[in-house]
Amino acid sequence: MSEDPARNRFFAIQAMRWIGTLVALFGLLVIYRRIDLPVEAGYVIFVVGLLDALVAPSLLARRWKSP
């Protein structure tokens, strides 16, 4: 059975969404002082996580779109 590229791309996009969500949650933990890091770092981590979860999957989908 051959590997379907669409299946692999789907899983890559879903993984990007989950990883971005986890990074954003980590940033929230820093912001709310549950993890001992500077609050400013928490805001940066949170924004990067949001970009990973919301923007990166659509960029990947656009790049992998069939002609």
- Structural domain includes residue 18: yes
Q: What is the mean pLDDT of the chain?
A: 94
- Structural domain includes residue 46: yes
Rounded Cα distance between 37 and 30, Å, is 6
Rounded Cα distance between 8 and 32, Å, is 36
Average pLDDT for 27-48: 98
- Structural domain includes residue 26: yes
Average pLDDT for 38-51: 98
pTM score: 0.88
- Structural domain includes residue 4: no
| 33: alpha, beta or left? (left if phi > 0; alpha if psi -120 to 50) | left
- Structural domain includes residue 34: yes
Reported as a pLDDT band with limits 50, 70 and 90, residue 50 is: very high
Reported as a pLDDT band with limits 50, 70 and 90, residue 1 is: low
Cβ within 8 Å of residue 22, ≥6 positions away: 49
Q: What are the start-end ranges of the H helices in the chain? A: 5-31, 39-54, 56-63
pLDDT for the residue 2: 66
